[in-house]
Amino acid sequence: MHGRFFYSFSPELELSEKLKAFAEVYGYTSKFQEAENTLDAGFLYQFKPNLQFDLCGGIGIAKAATDNFIELGMSFRLPG
């Protein structure tokens, strides 16, 4: 069995109590595949204590990675 490795570096900056900005470099690699390196940046907005929205865009910085993308997301925390 051959593994696939994931790596990420993602600094974050708090702009206000509810708004954060981030940048991220991440990728995947394995012994038999060219690395898929990607760079993205975006914003996280905490609408409520258990609800967050995010928007980001990025580019592939290796031939095997996706060329470019835009993502919109929503995260919520279930009561525990």
DSSP track, 1-49: ---EEEEEE--EEE-SSSEEEEEEEEEEEETTEEEEEEEEEEEEEEEET
- The residues with which 4 forms a beta bridge, in sequence order, are 30
pLDDT band for 2, please (50, 70, 90 cuts). low
Q: Determine the average pLDDT of the residues in 4-10.
A: 91
**Which tokens hold the place of 52?**
């967050």
pLDDT in tens, 36-75: 899 999 999 999 999 999 999 999 988 777 789 999 999 9
CA gyration radius, the chain: 15
pTM above 0.95, yes or no: no
- So where are the chain's domains? 4-76
